[in-house]
Structure 1
Amino acid sequence: MTPAAHPSQHAPELRAAARHIARRRFLTATGAAAALAFATNLPSAGVAAAAELDAARITENPFTLGVASGDPLPGSVILWTRLAPAPFQADSGLPAERVTVHWELAHDERFRRIARRGTATAHPEFHHAVHVEVTHLDAGRVYYYRFRVGRWVSPAGRTRSAPDPGSRVRELTLAAVSCQAYHDGYYTPYAHLAADDVDLVFHLGDYLYEYAVNSVGGQRNHTDRTLPDLFDRETLTLEDYRLRYALYKSDPDLSAAHAAHPFVVTWDDHETENNYADDIPENSVPPEEFLLRRASAYRAYWENQPLRRPQRPAGPDMRLYRRLHWGRLAQFDVLDTRQYRSDQAYGDRAHVPGPESDDPARTMTGATQERWLLDGWRSSRALWNVVPQQVMFARRHMDATTPSRVSMDAWDGYSASRRRVLDGAKAAGVENLMVLSGDVHSAYAFDIKDDFDDQSSATLGTEIVATSVSSGRDGADKPATWDTYMSANPHLKFFNGRRGYVTVALGQESARADFKTVPYVTRQGAPVATAASFVTEVGEQGLKPA
């Protein structure tokens, strides 16, 4: 990554300017700035400046992108949809007018027993996205939901509220997914996940990729349709990011998974740009240009995900880290390890650790988020403390020789930051720690050691790394690095390079992780199998084959 000034050195006006996202930005073919246009400011939510559209004028299905729910609370759920009769057009096939959307939440699949109903406004300023925060619900129960606009009714979704904070929940089954490059293959793992019996899904980043998608959809090699040229370029503008979400969310398997389960989402880098760190881009571009790009990416992310009001971005800033509870069984501390981190040491790829990467001042989370995490552990009453986040937490030596290279983009490149987190867990008395990670397009299972140089040191927790949904194409059960990684990392218990997802059943006595894989994604119809299963026991951390 090209060196750049630290965020604190950037003039405040740069961040302020990026809060005013223009409708258009003009760039050269290489991505360098030719000009930046700040022609209009986007109205804030709730401003009814636009005229209201008569729903009878919508003659094509507006629910092409499906429905979703997320972030369950004891008495509340968040419901999402976005109106897009023509999803591959910049305006999604709707005029710049607000639309009244009816919604209803029911106790049963046939919507005979309605629990709540109401209306919401789909504003053109937010690309006709709808975020409905339904409150005053019963805790710990399943609900069904749907939307209606005019004569059009959306597919039905299934969601659930979280249990009461003090309740003793017997078990929770979650799924973890990550990395779904559209151009690398089909989302077959989502088809299987949609049919799986899980309570909620954690998406750990790289929901979107910024890279160009050609007319045949890359490795998908479409024969039934031709994608428009507007996808065959890198995402840079708000319009680019919005259209790319439309492409991804048009996938029926992804839509099915969203409809079947509530999602808890967090991003990594590709939702904005590969390997960016805070406001430092991958390539050498002016900071004001990258901040504007980041503002566009963050806004499109919020518009297209089931996120609550506190997560709505303000220009290039968006608080995505947050805390959820599942009774007294589990506390989930969802991290953002991209927006606040120090720049990668020695570039952004593998390197032997040194003074730069070991600098105590370096941070993966930023000081505020780090304090929030440690304070949350100190006040936690949960049996399991689970940390859904993006990049590999445990040490991963990449060579059988000493010294060995490690990833400078993962926690290995921020060793002091990881040490503070582990010391904070010990000080808080966290006994059952589990980290959920993604990013690396392979499945891993690690013991988290107090001292990775001393395998006899205490095991402080476990790390479950979800493989990719499609990124990396078909993959292999044993990647070329398998022998090296397994021998160089004694705390590594499992390594598999196929596509898929992982489920984790958290219980009162143990947790069980099942790594589910498919043999291919470059064509459709792959079956799913459980590649391996591991358990870790309450009060005795460490993974064992199930």
Structure 2
Amino acid sequence: MGEENKPEESAAHETTLDRLTNETMDRRSFLQKTGKIAEVLAAAGLLGTLPAIAGCGSNGGEGPSTPTPPKTIGYPFELGVASGDPLPDGVVLWTRLAPRGGSMPSEPVDVTWEVAEDESFTSIVQQGTYAAEPEYAHSVHAEIEGLEPDQWYYYRFKMNDEVSPTGRTKTIPADGAPVDQLNIAFASCQNYPAGYYTAYDHLVNEDLDVVFFLGDYIYEGAAQGSLGRGHLPRNEVRTLHEYRIRYGQYKSDPSLQAAHAAFPWIVTLDDHEVKNNWGGEGPPYDNTAQFLSRRAAAFKAYYEHMPIRRSSLPGDVNMQLFRRFKYGNLVDFNVLDTRQYRTGFACGGGIQSDCSERLDPARTMLGEDQEDWLFDGLRSSSARWKVLAQQVMMAQDDRQEGPGTAFGMDKWDGYAATRNRLFDVVKENDIDNMVVLTGDSHKNWVNDLKDDFSNPDSRTLGTEFMGTSITSGGNGTDFPGYASTILAENPHIKFYNAQRGYVRCSITPERWQTDFRVVPYVETKGADIRTRASFVVENGQPGAVQM
């Protein structure tokens, strides 16, 4: 927690605030300075003057307010644009109206959207109007239909005389259509105070069809850090008003905005979008009623800020996030939700040795409905590659050096019965091209998924590629000291690295190549990027081989 504000600091805050807000700023300069202005406001106890990122009016969109729209709303697209959940004939287009130096009216506002074949919008193929409602913080989730499969498009929004930045998106191939190659990247864990989003500055230059984000889009805590990117509000967020402010802060980052505008994103959440290590109705130390209220607020704010479909609109404490994307005959992506339906932590959580409860067949990571949906999809899939895009480590990870074992109860190790049921489906249906994409750990890993993790010679059933964080954990290091123990105790783990970055994958019918793209630091700007390691999985041969 940060220190309490001292009374003598208020004048300094006002001076800095006046200097920053009275300068003439274009849109780029504003984006660069938004974080500093917001930090000063928070430190001065003036957070109520930021209604644009909290919601409509001064009450953050919670409760009634008089519909008195300001004469000049101001530029409304300061949080950028995004697209997501692509289908063969359409995609979701997202923005949220959050004007600089003003607030939104407490009534719906019409926003025009346009989709074109060219960046100059001389060939517009679809256009329409979306009513952005104050109930959802004037966010826009325009579900576009009637587009051609496997095609790039450009999009933008208009409100009054204001025009948004231009975004680029792509539809997916038709179901079953032949696909020769697909390029993707996946990322996770972008703690705002921990570093700069330099990795995204490089991501936008990649040749990609889609980006997967696997959780921890925001962090809920009160960390301030030392980089001038301290969290807003300064406290841990718990209410809808506070979650909206936190998302607005993250969304104001120019590097993140550019990455959203460059490609369609497919997203799912993990724990920090709600509370660290939550699961189901919450960890044992939470009061259930209070936690469920917080969970409902967090889900609503997540929906408001993500390019996801109305089918994911939260129903109080429930939110539909597991879904499937079929890229022709090449890949089926099964996007999982490993938080919402799981049973409580075995043996009290944390890392535990001799925890027999984790093996209980009644325990579940996914819940019965999601398990059935996943298993049925794997059985019926005709795609070459069957992919699970999900949050926490699936492979076994023994953390105890020498004799005995110790496992993390928040991972699939704490829900071994669900993992066993999944592996049974793989074996019984001769699925030999299962690939798992995972976030969460702030590390890069390559894991062979074994029929029996205690026997290195047992059958390999699939491959897990785990991606590091964008910033979480700070600068990171290439090979921390404890990595030797992890690799020695777990021979199925082929690679371990603790730098920051993202993971790039090139997929063809005969080969899956994964490149771990890392930056040397994130606590200062301007880092270059390199490929730290590359691994290949050959068609029909589960398990990764380093190039």
TM-score by length of 1: 0.86
Superposition deviation, residue 85 in structure 1: 0.7
More helix by share: 2
1:305 corresponds to 2:312: no
**CA distance in 2 between partners of 1:119 and 1:213 (Å):** 39
Per-residue deviation, 1:445: 0.6
The residue number in structure 1 matching 2:111 is 101
Name the CA shift for 1:253/1:355 in 2 (closer, same or farther; >3 Å): same
Determine the C-alpha separation between the residues in 2 that align with 1:100 and 1:405: 56
Q: Are 2:448 and 1:441 aligned?
A: no
What is residue 172 of structure 2 aligned with on the other side? 162
- The corresponding residue for 1:64 is 78
Q: Aligned residue for 1:221?
A: 228
Q: Are the aligned partners of 1:53 and 1:99 in contact in 2 as well (CA < 8 Å)?
A: no
| SS at 1:426 equivalent | helix
Contact 2:209 2:264 in 1 (8 A): yes
Q: What displacement does 1:424 show?
A: 1.3
Structure 2 match to 1:205: 215
Q: Residues 399 and 405 of structure 1 are in contact (CA less than 8 Å); yes or no, is this contact kept in structure 2?
A: yes
Query: In the alignment, is the contact (CA less than 8 A) between 1:140 and 1:162 conserved in 2?
Result: yes
- Cα separation, 1, equivalents of 2:272 and 2:293: 16
Deviations 1:119-172 (CA, angstroms, capped at 9, x unpaired): 101100100000000001100100000001111111100100000102110011
CA shift digits 1:254-297 (9 cap, x unpaired): 10100001110001111000111101236332x11111100000
C-alpha distance after superposition, 1:309-360 (max 9, x if no partner): 1110000000110011100100011000000001111222111242211111
Checking the alignment, whether the CA contact within 8 Å between 2:333 and 2:389 is kept in structure 1 is: yes
Equivalent pair of 2:232/2:246 in contact (CA under 8 Å): no
Distance across 1 between alignment mates of 2:114 and 2:67:
21
| TM-score normalised according to structure 2 size | 0.86
Consecutive unaligned residues of structure 2, counting only runs of 5 or more, are 1-63
What is the DSSP-based 3-state SS (H/G/I as helix, E as strand, rest coil) of the residue aligned with 1:364? coil
Whole-Å separation in 1 of the counterparts to 2:328 and 2:463: 21
Quote the Cα distance in structure 2 between the aligned partners of 1:110 and 1:484: 55
Q: Is the 8 A contact 2:446 2:463 kept in 1?
A: yes
Question: Separation in 2 of the partners of 1:171 and 1:482?
Answer: 34
Deviates more, 1:421-430 or 1:184-193: 421-430
Task: Indicate yes or no: 2:90 matched with 1:76.
Answer: yes
Aligned position for 1:418: 419
The answer to whether the aligner puts 1:182 opposite 2:183 as a matched pair is no
Shift of 1:400: 2.5
Question: 2:472 — aligned with what?
Answer: 471
Shift of 1:378: 1.2
Aligned ranges 1:31-430 → 2 under 5 Å? 57-86=71-100, 93-214=103-224, 218-221=225-228, 231-281=233-283, 283-285=285-287, 287-430=288-431
Q: Which residue of 2 aligns with 1:518?
A: 519
Q: Take 2:126 and 2:99, find their aligned partners in 1: how far apart are those partners? A: 26
Question: CA contact under 8 A between 2:337 and 2:390: conserved in structure 1?
Answer: yes
Per-residue CA distance 1:405-425 (angstroms, 9 max, x = gap): 111100011111100011112
Where 1:386 maps in the other structure, the secondary structure is strand
Contact 2:277 2:283 in 1 (8 A): yes
Q: CA deviation at 1:174?
A: 0.8
Q: Distance in 2 between matches of 1:212 and 1:362?
A: 33
Q: Distance in 2 between matches of 1:188 and 1:347?
A: 38
**Comparing 351-360 with 494-503, which one deviates more in the overlay?**
351-360
Counterpart amino acid of residue 414 in structure 1: Y
Taking the aligned partners of 1:391 and 1:219, their CA distance within structure 2 comes to: 29
What secondary structure, in the 3-state scheme, does the structure 1 residue paired with 2:131 have?
A: strand
> Is the contact made by 2:84 and 2:307 (CA closer than 8 Å) also made in structure 1?
yes
The separation in 2 between residues aligned to 1:152 and 1:51, in whole angstroms, is: 25
Structure 1 residue 213: Cα displacement: 4.2
Return the alpha-carbon distance in structure 1 between the equivalents of residues 349 and 219 of structure 2.
18
Indicate the SS of the match to 1:376: helix
Whichever residue aligns with residue 500 of structure 1, its letter is: G
Distance in 2 of aligned mates of 1:121 and 1:381: 40
Q: Which residue is equivalent to 2:4?
A: none
1:40-81 Cα shifts (integer Å, max 9, x gaps):
xxxxxxxxx999887x94442111110000111011111000
Structure 1 residue runs of 5 or longer lacking an equivalent are 1-48
Q: Is the 8 A contact 2:185 2:210 kept in 1?
A: yes
Structure 2 residue identity aligned to 1:511? W
Distance 1:487 1:60, change over 3 A: same
Partner of 1:432: 433
Specify whether residues 457 and 202 from structure 1 end up closer, same or farther in structure 2 by C-alpha distance, changes over 3 A only.
same
Is the contact made by 1:175 and 1:502 (CA closer than 8 Å) also made in structure 2?
yes
Distance 1:425 1:327 in 2: 21
- TM-superposed CA distance for 1:403, in Å, is 1.0
Aligned alpha-carbon RMSD (Å): 1.7
Per-residue deviation, residues 224-249 of structure 1 (Å, max 9, x unmatched) = xxx7x951000100001011000001
Q: Partners in 1 of 2:203 and 2:232 — Cα distance?
A: 31
Number of aligned residue pairs: give it.
Answer: 484
Q: Name the CA distance, whole Å, in 2 between partners of 1:415 and 1:233.
A: 36
Q: What residue is the counterpart of 2:36 in the other structure?
A: none
Separation of aligned partners in 1, 2:283 and 2:223: 22
Q: Residue 220 of structure 1: CA displacement?
A: 2.3
Q: Contact (CA 8 Å) 1:58, 1:150: kept in 2 or not?
A: no
**AA at the equivalent of 2:233:** F
- Structure 2: distance between partners of 1:210 and 1:401: 37
Kindly indicate whether the alpha-carbon contact (under 8 Å) linking 1:51 and 1:98 is maintained by their aligned counterparts in 2. Answer: no
1:486 aligned counterpart, secondary structure: helix
How far residue 399 of structure 1 moved from its aligned partner, in angstroms, is 2.5
Identity of aligned residues (%): 47
CA contact (8 A) 1:276 1:282 kept: no
Structure 1 position 191, deviation (Å): 1.1
